[in-house]
């Protein structure tokens, strides 16, 4: 499955990319898709079998969405902890 994580800072996105890679996940930073808002404009797109093994999430993380046919499904948002 492919996910997109958005962040409050560029540093948070880069740090999360390194966390994904350290756990053997394919990850890339990229501009946030227009349909997703973000404070810093950069996101991390990564492939994984789920997101629970990435918890606890870094405090810089704003939200995580799952890419689905026709759009995105929000799985985590910092305001919904």
Chain segment 29-45, per-residue pLDDT in tens: 999 988 887 677 899 99
Looking at the chain, the whole-number percentage of residues with pLDDT higher than 90 is 73
Question: What's the domain range around 6?
Answer: 2-80
Q: What pLDDT, on a 0 to 100 scale, did the predictor assign at position 38?
A: 62
Number of domains in the chain: 1
- Kindly provide the residue ranges of all beta strands, DSSP E only, lying in the chain, ordered along the sequence: 2-7, 27-31, 42-47, 61-68, 71-77
> pTM for the whole thing?
0.90
Chain segment 44-68, per-residue pLDDT in tens: 999 999 999 888 888 899 999 999 9
């Amino acid at each position: 499955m492919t996910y997109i994580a958005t962040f409050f800072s560029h540093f948070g996105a880069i740090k999360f990319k390194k966390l994904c890679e350290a756990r053997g996940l394919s990850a890339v930073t990229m501009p946030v898709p227009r349909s997703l808002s973000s404070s810093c404009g950069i996101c991390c797109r990564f492939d994984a079998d789920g997101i629970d093994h990435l918890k606890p999430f870094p405090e810089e993380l704003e939200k995580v969405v799952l890419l689905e046919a026709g759009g995105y499904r929000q799985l985590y948002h910092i305001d919904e902890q």
